[in-house]
Structure 1
């Protein structure tokens, strides 16, 4: 039954995607982030829904008469540079065959990110994109939160199979990333039931993150909550709620959870933590030896024998930063960090120029919450291999689109102001000429 529902939903959307390609972006985000087909057990489980949606969306993009210019902002140019650099590092990869497979997967994310920037152009479309992201991850967050509460935190929360966030650590970071975006929808909601539902979802997602037993997630939660408080217009109220809820949530978790979290202070005695540090050393030494990095898929015994202090302790990168460094060298890491900086700066600009604008308040609220989301991802991602996780790229696209909308409003107002000045000057000139002409007979 689930297979049939998902298939009907996807194929039923295709005619609408051709007519309004932005719907294809929303469907792509739903399929790629939520992976609803992984919740089925039949033919839909491995059916290429994402490829079909992407193909139809791109066709719709080509045939639509709507404006479809890609804004060449610093963020977009940097994202292009990052995509091109990954292609270059793949050519010179240590394991090119494996790298090409991963490049194909990553290229789809980058292509649809560009499509998102091109097609999401209005406040309503940006809001729909945010709702799609929240719904896709909120499903697992609410479900995981209920599971954590029902089991007393005694079992681990996992993510959807076959996705970037299948692991407990990865899905916890996804929850941390989406909570601030949920807060944006809470702030924008006019209906009290929507507000209560969003507040409950935020709380359950937080419990789900704790229920993942991820130590990196705990650090990410701390950073996210601090910046959420810092960016909130109601600091006293939010701070009071945090002081009330956080201790209760931590006390609710069982002793084995507390014991695992305490190992953060004794990481040198933890084999998993030391394995991550060994992988970081490997990535660093590889980047020193190979300016282009090793390319994708470098986490194998050969690479560790060449570059790691402990050759037989093979681990994944367990850090978005060391992942970028090892796979794409110092240049790749620099481009990635530049992309993050430019996104943050654009969000800060949106917050600044909309500070006293009630009509653009939504844009400022969204930019602030995306900043909080990216802080949570940036801190938690320091301990996870999620360099190519698509949600941060879609949030980045939302910032670009929101900035575009704000710029258009400001440009229209500036043009109207200039036109008003010209009209006033023309009227004054005509009036002066009329008065001069009327004065001539009197003078004669």
Structure 2
């Protein structure tokens, strides 16, 4: 009798850890019922509301679209509120040794930014931009601290997809309205980080595989109408990439396709999907855009970027440790290398890697590559960890999302060659989502293995320290009638 009681108590704890109550389980939220989602969201602590508010105001930027909303710094206010409220509630970030490398990589990169600002060519200008990189450092910590249940992660991830869809549908509609024709300016996303077509297309390369993973994981729960609506997510993202007129983004898309082909399972199905996708892309790509690839390396845009990259290399070699300083490319270039006969105004270096080399030296460039590598490894670990458990619907979601995050990371590594986006949200949010997936994939896999539901290979469940179930649980709140 006592053994049965103990077993039942353990199963009950596992259910609560997974957020398994009638209105708040991930499975119930995955039905995408607005009523169910709202009932779950309204029971969450204000700290969670604040961090979700930051995501909305930072990605959608309604305050920049509607002037009457722009009466306060919404994003920074949400960060401050999330910081204060999370401590008031006593939330704790999950402790998992497997994430030590990625945490250390972020701290090390931030320290290089700080030191390069102190010894910068124009230190005052560096510190005037301190909130840019500082924001990602603080947000990374806050999200890990606050988004500490599966239910919260699902809602946060869904909001992330919706914010991206807000941009992708605008890009798709813009392209359709001009008859799928070519435009030098491409299409743009929300004001701010994704206003320019290149950065917008980079984000769409990240959004595309994530939206497909989400659909694959939960499509069996949806009606046909909802399924067709959700298909608009990847369709609009794919179309926005084609409409962006960004050669770097197209290369990033090709990198995703080639990576899919290198998967061992279902090779013919994967080949068919990639061939069809690229066939559609080729058919809808305007002739003027195709012509840009034939002149790559010889047109004015290419030669100008090669000129900037050469200057950045010389600057990095002259300042190998910390570069000329965080955010100092423009003031330094304007003082020593600006030639109005070549370009009428000073421009960015048009490469994340050369930007890191010039502004942060070889130490910053090395740390950027290491940080990306740590992110890739975390996702690979999540994929291997969840592989024995993919019969569980939520575990399958984590498995597919981890793969999608690595597809997006690969596209970022390719497109970053041609776009200056070192302090943009791309790498830092990608790492954050990867850490969250790893945390919840680990705790659910261990729970399934411990409860005897599925026996997993021990090598996947011994890495790092045990995740405390208590810190990942969501308090059961009875439904309100």
**TM-score, normalised via structure 2 length:** 0.76
Residue of structure 1 in register with 2:187 after alignment? 158
Give secondary structure in 2 for the equivalent of 1:354: helix
Say if 1:70 and 1:29 are closer, same or farther in 2 by CA, change over 3 A. Answer: farther
- Distance, in Å, in 1 between the alignment partners of 2:48 and 2:72 is 22
* Aligned CA distance change for structure 1 residues 135 and 391 (closer, same or farther; 3 Å): farther
Counterpart CA distance in 1 for 2:366 and 2:420 is: 17
**Contact 1:113 1:393 (8 Å CA) reproduced:** yes
State yes or no: 1:48 paired with 2:73: yes
Q: Residues of 2 paired with 1:274 and 1:386: CA distance?
A: 20
Relative distance call for 1:49 and 1:205 in structure 2 (3 A) is: same
Change beyond 3 A, Cα 1:276–1:70: farther
| Kept after mapping to 1: 8 A contact 2:322/2:360 | yes
In the other structure, the counterpart of 1:92 is 119
Q: How many residues align structurally? A: 399
C-alpha displacement at 1:194, in angstroms? 3.5
Residues 320 and 386, structure 1, Cα contact 8 Å, conserved in 2: yes
Alignment map for 1:85-164 (pairs within 5 Å) = 85-154=112-181, 155=183, 156-160=185-189, 162-164=191-193
Change (3 A) 1:245 1:409: closer
- Unaligned stretches of 5+ residues in structure 2: 1-40, 453-481
In the alignment, structure 1 residue 236 sits paired with structure 2 residue 263: no
Separation of aligned partners in 2, 1:160 and 1:248: 23
Distance change >3 Å, CA 278–CA 39, structure 1 → 2: same
Q: In 1, Cα distance between the equivalents of 2:95 and 2:46? A: 17
> Using the alignment, how far apart are the partners of 2:365 and 2:341 within structure 1?
24
Aligned-pair CA distance for 1:262: 2.5
Computed over aligned residues only, the root mean square deviation of the Cα atoms, in angstroms, reads 2.8
Paired with 1:17 and 1:109, the residues of 2 have a C-alpha distance of 27
Map residues 344-423 of structure 1 onto 2, 5 A cutoff. 344-357=376-389, 358-359=391-392, 360-411=395-446
User: Residues 305 and 311 of structure 1 are in contact (CA less than 8 Å); yes or no, is this contact kept in structure 2?
Assistant: no
Instruction: Give the aligned partner of residue 58 of structure 2.
Output: 32
User: Could you tell me how far apart the structure 2 residues matched to 1:308 and 1:368 are?
Assistant: 43
User: How far apart are 1:373 and its partner, in Å?
Assistant: 0.8
The answer (yes or no) to whether the contact 1:220–1:379 under 8 Å persists in 2 is yes
Q: Displacement, 1:347?
A: 0.7
RCO higher in structure (CA 8 A, sep ≥6):
2
Moved more, 195-204 or 58-67: 195-204
Closer, same or farther: CA 312–90 of 1 in aligned 2, 3 Å: farther
Matches of 1:98 and 1:85, distance apart in 2: 16
Matched with 1:249 is: 281
Which whole-Å CA distance do the structure 1 matches of 2:194 and 2:374 have between them? 26
Partner Cα separation in structure 2 for residue 310 and residue 416 of structure 1 = 69
Structure 2 CA distance, aligned partners of 1:238 and 1:196? 21
Counterpart residue number, 2:9: none
3-state DSSP of counterpart to 2:193: coil
Q: Is the 8 A contact 1:22 1:120 kept in 2?
A: yes
State how 1:134-283 maps to structure 2 within 5 Å. Answer: 134-154=161-181, 155=183, 156-160=185-189, 162-189=191-218, 190-191=221-222, 192-230=224-262, 235-264=267-296, 267=297, 269-283=298-312
Shift of 1:230: 4.2
1:296 is matched with 326
Is the radius of gyration larger for structure 1 or structure 2?
1
Task: Return the alpha-carbon distance in structure 2 between the equivalents of residues 310 and 281 of structure 1.
Answer: 18
CA displacement, residues 326-351 of structure 1 (integer Å, 9 cap, x when unaligned): 11111111111111111111110111
The structure with the largest helix share of the pair is 1
